[in-house]
Homo-oligomer: A and B are copies of this chain.
Amino acid sequence: MANDNWELKGYLKERTQLIESALDRYLPSATTLPTTLHGAMRYSVFAGGKRIRPILMLAACEAVGGEIKNVLPAACAIEMIHSYSLIHDDLPAMDDDDLRRGNPTNHKVYGEATAILAGDGLLTEAFILLSNPAIRGTATVEQYCEVIHLLAKGAGSRGMVGGQVVDMEAEEKPVDLPTLEYIHTHKTGALILAAIEVGALLGGATTEQRLALCRFGEAAGLAFQVVDDILDIVADEDQLGKDIGSDQQRGKATYPALLGLSGARERADELHTRALDSLSKLGDAARPLREIASYIVNRSH
């Protein structure tokens, strides 16, 4: 985050606290049986994530004048889904990572079997929460059922999980730009887009607003991944908390590999502009979304 932007910093901190306190309420406690499993689920959820997806969801709701308390349970659900995906991604059979944000990965602490099941438990918990009638606030059951549909599609085999498979298949073979864009619009983009669309839906967006926010979500989601690829090359291990250049070592296709570092940087800037343009008809209420998009593109970790 840019150090001169104290306002965004305070906003992100306040939202992070709001989301983490809600996650703590909604997740089964660490004393709920089986305690090992719930401990493992909580370990990864509270391992210091940036909460980008839930923050974007709340900001999209806010951008159309919605009440963020109606969207908070859905924001927690998407963070549970994101956390599950990281646990499974880090497994020895997948990326085989020992560190995540500077801490040992779930399977290094709890063992592989429990890590697989903690991921399964978190994914399922998201849907337990979303289908609980007590959490809807003034939102309707129809709206929450659509939220379930949007998040499941974003997370599933034609969304995030599909992107993950194509990413694996792309290792150690030449990958062209369309394939790379497929990977990223699915692996990361689909869930970020779902975050934005759910925020718009529960915020009571008009059809036009919802479409504008979806265009924003597509551009911001892809920008997020392009910057991730760039950071994988330029950040040092201390900043990113994972092995440096680990994507390169595994022969993964990245934007810098295909476009060069400056070409990738240009692509990120172009997506940033497209994201901001999508919000042109939304007024000052969309300011947080605009600033988050800039933060995504300019972050150094």
Give every chain B residue within 8 A of A127 (Cβ-Cβ): 127, 148, 152
Report yes or no: B157 in contact with A124, Cβ–Cβ below 8 A. Answer: yes
Report yes or no: A162 in contact with B34, Cβ–Cβ below 8 A. Answer: yes
Partner of A161, one of B94, B124, B130, B133: B124
Subset of 25 A-B contacts with CB under 8 Å: A28-B158, A32-B158, A33-B158, A33-B162, A34-B157, A88-B120, A114-B165, A116-B116, A121-B156, A121-B162, A124-B155, A124-B156, A124-B157, A124-B161, A125-B152, A127-B127, A128-B152, A128-B156, A131-B146, A131-B148, A131-B152, A133-B145, A141-B141, A141-B142, A144-B145
Asked if A169 is at the interface of the complex by the 8 Å CB criterion, the answer is: yes
Bitwise, A26-38 to B at CB < 8 A (1) or not (0) is 0010001110111
Report yes or no: B131 in contact with A145, Cβ–Cβ below 8 A. Answer: yes
Residue of chain B at shortest CB distance from A156: B124
Residue of chain B at shortest CB distance from A128: B152
Give every chain B residue within 8 A of A117 (Cβ-Cβ): 88, 161, 164-165
Asked if A149 is at the interface of the complex by the 8 Å CB criterion, the answer is: yes
Asked if A63 is at the interface of the complex by the 8 Å CB criterion, the answer is: no
Which of A34, A37, A111, A146 gathers the greatest number of chain B CB atoms within 10 Å? A34
Asked if A41 is at the interface of the complex by the 8 Å CB criterion, the answer is: yes
Residue of chain B at shortest CB distance from A127: B152
List A135-180 residues whose CB lies under 8 Å from chain B.
141-142, 144-146, 148-149, 152-153, 155-158, 161-162, 164-166, 168-169
Report the minimal beta-carbon distance from A248 to chain B, rounded to whole angstroms: 19
Give 15 A-B pairs besides A33-B166, A92-B93, A117-B161 with Cβ atoms closer than 8 angstroms: A28-B157, A33-B182, A34-B157, A38-B157, A88-B116, A88-B120, A93-B111, A94-B113, A94-B116, A123-B124, A125-B152, A130-B148, A132-B149, A141-B142, A145-B145
Nearest 6 interchain pairs by C-beta: A93-B112, A121-B157, A124-B156, A131-B149, A131-B148, A127-B152
Asked if A91 is at the interface of the complex by the 8 Å CB criterion, the answer is: yes
Report the minimal beta-carbon distance from A82 to chain B, rounded to whole angstroms: 13
Give every chain B residue within 8 A of A133 (Cβ-Cβ): 145-146, 149
